[in-house]
Amino acid sequence: MNSLRTLLIRIAVAASLLHAAAAVAYDPSPGSVRFFRLTDIRSDAFLASPSPDQQAWMRAHYWRMLVFAPYFDPRLAWYPDAWAFKDLYAVYPGSPLAAQHPEWILRDGAGREAYIPYKCHHGTCPQFAGDLGNPAFRAQWIAEAVASVAPGYRGLFVSDVSLLPRTSDGSRRAVRVIDPRTGQPMTAADWGRYVAEFCEQIRAALPGKEIVHDALWFASVDDPSVQREVDSADFVYFHRGFNDRAIRGGKGPYAFQTFLSNIDAVHARGKGVVVESIEKALAAIEYNLAGYFLVDEGADGVGSDRGGGPTGWWSGYDVTLGAPLGPRYPWNGVQRRDFANGLVLVNAPRSPGRTLTLPRAMIDLRGRRQTAVHLGAARAAILTAP
């Protein structure tokens, strides 16, 4: 009886594993959603002790997850497609590293510690700005990164990969730091070069691992340091994605067309992009998803907090548009891309509202039959064939 029971358990486990494997069915072509999930302390609700069914659900719905090591280490057995987080140049106040190596913290001309301008209040910030041009700092950082991903992570997510200098005082006011190698204020060119060199060293230290750079989308892709940085990553992540409020209409370094062109430049170098929305309104999330479909070349990701959890999953992320029939193109004042099973329309920020007659009756993400759509500024429509 015990042997039969054991056999039945083994069959059930095997069936469960086969079902979970079959559920992971990401289509590598454009026209499908590759969902990226960023996790934080709120994610404990579904990461702390998920059931086998919940684990299978996450494998089926999440292309990649950004997680924190070593917390996630025991969970790699059921979700191996995780990127471990590490900030490129953060030194944390009160940490042993800050106490042992104060020389690794960048300082202004008056000798005061500089910070990364993030969540600053009451004259302080949670991260000192580390000296990313310091070989010893880099070596320590890389040793920690290698150890972090060793348990089996798919790769490393590197935050604050800014090719433009980003240092501040404790009130988030920009400060110019002294370059310890020259004794002079650090130039933007040297900052960019230090970042590019550091990224290349990280790439060399992690062969076979996916590397993701959390970067500024408006850094000029014509800059050789930016090109070196992109070349040392597998994916470039744009926080806020198409919902970034810095994106404007018209022309210039912050224009919508510049955003699209910079994504094209990343693709031209053989790398993917990940566009994540932090908005709450579904219309804004749909706009980011439509932007993803507009540029996706088969190796890109999209995500959001709202609509991206095991509870409250947004059905819009289940849409499948089929194979693209070509690249995006301008159409009646908006950007359009056609797919075998539908199309997307994207109206740029700060653009006039437009009412657009569709080429045929189609179904929107709310299941409504449409023959025309009205798009305000920074709004989009994702439509499928009936």
Asked if the bond preceding 70 is cis, omega within 30° of 0, the reply is yes
Please give the average per-residue pLDDT across 320-329, as a whole number: 96
Domain membership of residue 284 (yes or no) is: yes
pLDDT at res. 12: 34
The pLDDT tens digits for 2-61 are: 343 333 333 333 333 333 333 333 445 679 999 999 999 899 999 999 999 999 999 999
197: which 2 tokens?
A: 């060199």
Domain membership of residue 230 (yes or no) is: yes
Domain membership of residue 143 (yes or no) is: yes
What one-letter code names the amino acid at 84? A
The pLDDT tens digits for 371-383 are: 999 999 999 999 9
Across the chain, mean pLDDT equals: 92
CATH number at residue 267: 3.20.20.80
Sign of CA dihedral 259, 233, 290, 313: negative
Residue 78 burial (C-beta neighbours within 10 Å; 0-12, 13-18, 19+)? middle
232: which 2 tokens?
A: 């040392």
Domain membership of residue 61 (yes or no) is: yes
pLDDT at res. 10: 36
Beta bridge partners of residue 375, listed in sequence order: 354
The pLDDT tens digits for 55-96 are: 999 999 999 999 999 999 999 999 999 999 999 999 999 999
Distances (CA, A) of 8 to 3, 19, 51, 227: 9, 16, 20, 56
pLDDT higher than threshold 50 for residue 153: yes
Domain membership of residue 344 (yes or no) is: no
Beta-carbon contacts of residue 16 (< 8 Å; ≥ 6 apart): 52, 56
Instruction: State phi, psi for 374 to the nearest 5 degrees.
Output: -110, 125
71-85, 243-257, 330-344, 359-373: segment of lowest average pLDDT:
243-257
191: which 2 tokens?
A: 């900052």
pLDDT higher than threshold 60 for residue 269: yes
Burial 272-287 (b: 16+ CB within 10 A, else e): bbbbbbbbeeeebbbb
Domain membership of residue 310 (yes or no) is: yes
The pLDDT tens digits for 160-206 are: 999 999 999 999 999 999 999 999 999 999 999 999 999 999 999 99
229: which 2 tokens?
A: 């940085």
Beta-carbon contacts of residue 98 (< 8 Å; ≥ 6 apart): 91, 92, 105, 128
- DSSP state letter for 315: G
High-pLDDT (> 90) share of the chain, %: 90
Contact by Cβ (8 Å): 39, 47: yes
Q: Give the Cα separation of 153 and 149 in Å (integer).
A: 5
Q: Give the Cα separation of 377 and 354 in Å (integer).
A: 9
pLDDT at res. 250: 80
Domain membership of residue 352 (yes or no) is: no
pLDDT at res. 19: 33
The parent domain of residue 227 ranges over 31-323
pTM of the predicted model, to two decimals? 0.91
Angle at 263 between CA 259 and CA 266, to 5 degrees: 140
Number of H helices, E strands in the chain: 9, 16
Q: Give the Cα separation of 178 and 5 in Å (integer).
A: 70
Distances (CA, A) of 384 to 338, 361, 363: 10, 9, 5
E-assigned strands of 256-351? 272-277, 301-304, 329-331, 334-339, 342-347
E-assigned strands of the chain? 36-38, 64-67, 82-87, 90-91, 128-129, 155-161, 210-215, 235-239, 272-277, 301-304, 329-331, 334-339, 342-347, 354-363, 369-375, 379-384
pLDDT at res. 220: 87
pLDDT higher than threshold 60 for residue 359: yes
Count structural domains, the chain.
1
Domain membership of residue 374 (yes or no) is: no
